[in-house]
Structure formats: C-alpha cells, structure tokens
Structure 1
Amino acid sequence: MDTWEMVVVHRWFKREFAEMPALVRGVAHEDRDRARYVAGFVEMMAGLLHHHHVGEDEMLWPKLLERVGGMDTELVQRMEQQHEVVGGALERVEQLLPKWRAQADQETRDELAEVLEGMSKALNEHLADEENHVLPLVSVYITQAEWDALGKNGASSMPKGAKGFDTIGMILQDATPEERQGFLKILPAPIRLLYKLVGAGIHRREKERRAA
C-alpha cells in the first residue's frame, strides 16, 4: 500500500506552520483588519492540524500498537511527547487568537508567533518520525480499507467554499506532477472541475494576500 498522500499532507503542514511565525509578526501593531485576516488563517490551519492528529490517535495508533509486535518503545514515547508539545501549543494558540483578533496588539502578536515557532519545530520532528518509522509499518499492518477510512476522516474536516479551494491549492503547492494528478483524482469529480475552473485562481489570490 502506498502512503504518498500522507507525505503530501505533511509537506503542506510543515511549510505553512514554518512560515506562520513570520506571517504573524508581519502584522503591524493595531492593524485590526490584517490581524483578523491572519488570525482566521492561523485558526483554520490549527483546526485542520488538530483534526489530523485526532484522526491518527483514534484510527491509526491503536491498530499499530495492537498489531506490531515489539514496537520501538522509545519511538512511541518520543512521538507521544511530540504530540503533547504540539497539542499544548495548539491550545495556547486557541487562547491567544481571540485577543489578538480583537486588539491586534504587539504583545499578543509576539507571544503567538513564539508559540507557533516552537510548535513548528516539534511538528517537523514529529512528522519526520512518522514518515521514517511509522508509514513503513502502515504499509504492512494497516489494510487499504482502514487507510481509506483515515483519508475520508481527514477530508471531512476540509473547509467549504473559497477556503476549501485555497486549502486544496496549498496541499498541491509543492506536489510533484504525479502527486498532483493522484490527489486530484481522489477529489469528487464536481470539486475537481470547480478547482480547475475557479479554485486554483482563488488559491493564487489568497496566497498573494497572505504574502502582502
């Protein structure tokens, strides 16, 4: 079983959260319009990452721990610690966003950026461990039906409308031509057509707006 979809999703998460501290710090003190926009983006990405991790915790890890004999205890403990760091950071982000969205103050902005910076580092380590040590086990111990169910669970958290098209564009941003073709095939035909007609343009505009 090929787990390439997870690698593509990880690449998206790693890139966006690595760029996020600078995105937040780039908002001027008391620029409430920009703070609201950036806060909305951070909130969306944080929610998607949380859903991704909950899906793994509920639908993947229990099966692996049950089926893989002699699974590396040190690896499991390290990844659990990484999950805790990322989870704690997501909780702090959730606490900080309402104040920053409302006040656009420098103090909250800087704390938010610092939390995101630490989370990005832990996330990179965690996803690297997943790709190097866990995905090879998935190919052996998880059935195609179970893997497809995990994918459907992840897709259920996708935003609707313009944000959904922007999300698809972000996922595809660094994909190889083969990955891009494979990912688009997974999408329902109407969504695939709409993305080609209007969604890609929505993503380009949102990407430019974030970079402004």
Structure 2
Amino acid sequence: MYMAHSMFRREIGLAPALVRGVASGDTERARTVADHLDLVDTVLRHHHQGEDVHLWPRLLTRGGPEAAAVVRVMEDQHEAIERANDEVRDRAAIWRVTVDPADGAALGDALGRLSDLLADHLAIEEDQALPLIEKHITAAEWGRMVAEGGADVAPEHMALIFGMMAYEGDPDTVRDVVAGMPPEIRPAIADLAGQAFAQHAVRVYGTATPPRTGVRR
C-alpha cells in the first residue's frame, strides 16, 4: 500500500508541471504526457475500486463504530477524487488534441486540485484506515484484492506499473511483494520492472530518476 501511495503522490504531484512544460502544438510530446496520465489514472481507479469492493464493506462489518467513521471518510474522499479525476480526463482529452497552452494550463490546474485531494486522502488512509485494515482484513482477502486489481491490466504494462511503485520502495518490501506473486510472473517482474520504469521515465521526464517524494516505507 505504501509503495502504491508513493507512486500516486509522485506521479500526480509532478503531472501539472509536465503538462505546462509542453510547447504549443507539440502533439508528439502531448501524446506522451497524456498517455502517461491515462496509465496513472487507470492504476488509481483500480486501486480505489479494490478498496471499495474488498476493504470498506469488511471493515464496516468487523470494525464497529470506529471503523464506520473512518470508512465514511474514505468513501467520501474517493467520491471527491473521482469527480476531480473526471475533470482531469475531460480536460486531458481536449488538450491532447489542441495542444493549446490555455487548455494545458486548465489541465494543469485540474491536476493540481486532484493532487491536493489525493495527498489529504492518502495521509488519512495511512494514519487511520491502514491500522484497521491490518487488524480486520486477512492476508488472503488482501491477496484477492490485489489479484483482481491486476486482472485486466495489459501484460505489457505489468512490469512498468510495478516498477513505478517499486521506485521508492524499501528493498525488503519490494522483495516480499515479488515473493508473493504467482511463480510464473516473478522472474519477469523482478528482472524487468526497474528497466521498464527507467525507460518510461526517460520518455516522460527526460531522466530515469525523476524527483522522489521522500517517503520511503
């Protein structure tokens, strides 16, 4: 969870500057940035859907009033984030075509609002929801959530997405996560994830080592 959160903080936090840095009419660069935004959006959407289906209902059943209050906040924040993401998607679809600085500025502003909402949400989730999840959700239930979340991810994106998450991850945690994956995909993920993210980062950021959030767990 912390690895995923670091990825969302970093990629969405850096996104406004990425968009604003695209020159007017540079359709190739705009396509690269917009495709990157689409990928991050897909991962975030799957992440939140997994929580909505697998975590919050179980916490409501098992955690009592304390969990009910936290779940209510989580669900409200997910709805607010999804509304902000709707605006980002709409503005990105326009900017991808026009590559107009005014449209880029509007998209950058929408991404900034999304980043602020997400930062607040992730902090509260880590402080209040994760201790309840550790207490009330089994490893098997967590594993099913992760498996379902990755079920419709394109195979060619699997290593990249894990590389994006592992970029700031603690090495021991990364090894533990890989060890819990199905045996048939472990070698490919372990060998290719870092390389896949480095290549992607060069295309998107111009460097294989984009700025980190500074949060490492």
* TM-score normalised by structure 2 residue count: 0.86
Match of 1:115 in 2: 110
Q: Does 1:178 align with 2:172?
A: yes
Asked if 2 retains the 8 angstrom alpha-carbon contact of 1:13 and 1:49, the reply is yes
CA contact (8 A) 1:48 1:157 kept: no
Q: In the TM superposition, what is the alpha-carbon distance from 1:85 to its structure 2 partner?
A: 2.0
Question: Partners in 1 of 2:170 and 2:61 — Cα distance?
Answer: 34
Q: Counterpart in 1 of 2:16? A: 21
Which of 71, 77, 81 is 1:82 aligned to?
77
Aligned pair partner of 1:167 in 161, 167, 170: 161
Correspondence 1:201 to 2:195: yes
Measure, in 2, the Cα distance between the counterparts of 1:144 and 1:189. 18
Deviation at 1:193, TM superposition (A): 2.1
2:32 to 12, 33, 37: 37
**C-alpha deviation, 1:72, in angstroms:** 6.0
| Residue type at the aligned position of 1:96 | R
Identity of aligned residues (%): 33
Where do 5+ consecutive residues of structure 1 fail to align? 1-5
Could you tell me whether the CA contact under 8 Å between 1:67 and 1:141 is conserved in 2? yes
Which segments of structure 1 move beyond 6 Å, counting only runs of 4 or more? none
Report the CA distance shift for 1:110/1:131 in structure 2 as closer, same or farther (over 3 A).
Answer: same
Contact 1:51 1:157 survives alignment (8 Å): no
Give the Cα–Cα distance (whole angstroms) in 1 for the partners of residues 44 and 118 of structure 2.
10
Q: Which amino acid aligns with 1:7?
A: Y
Q: How far off is 1:165 after superposition?
A: 2.2
Distance across 2 between alignment mates of 1:198 and 1:63:
35
Take 1:160 and 1:169, find their aligned partners in 2: how far apart are those partners?
14
Alpha-carbon separation, structure 1, partners of 2:62 and 2:193:
41
Gapped regions of structure 2 (runs ≥ 5): 207-217
Q: Measure, in 2, the Cα distance between the counterparts of 1:197 and 1:149.
A: 24
Contact 1:21 1:113 in 2 (8 A): yes
Partners of 1:107 and 1:65 in 2: CA distance: 45
Query: Structure 2: which amino acid aligns with 1:63?
Result: R
Question: 2:213: which partner in 1?
Answer: none
Distance 2:121 2:8 in 1: 12
1:77 is displaced (CA, Å) by: 4.2
- What is the DSSP-based 3-state SS (H/G/I as helix, E as strand, rest coil) of the residue aligned with 1:60? helix
- TM-aligned CA distance change 1:210 to 1:7, over 3 Å: same
Check the 8 A contact 2:54/2:145 in 1, yes or no: yes
Cα distance in 1, alignment partners of residues 193 and 78 from structure 2: 33
Secondary structure in structure 2 of the residue aligned to 1:27: coil
**Structure 1 residues 177 and 85, CA gap change in structure 2 (3 angstroms):** same
1:131 aligns with 2:132: no
Q: CA deviation at 1:30?
A: 1.0
Identify if the C-alpha distance between structure 1 residues 191 and 59 changes in structure 2 by more than 3 Å, giving closer, same or farther: same
> 1:3 maps to which residue?
none
In the alignment, the residues of structure 2 paired with residue 187 and residue 28 of structure 1 have an alpha-carbon distance, to the nearest angstrom, of: 41
Alpha-carbon contact 2:59-2:68 (below 8 Å) kept: no
Output the TM-score relative to the length of structure 1.
Answer: 0.88
Distance in structure 2 (CA, Å) of the matches to 1:174 and 1:88: 28
Matches within 5 A, 1:44-123: 44-71=39-66, 75-123=70-118
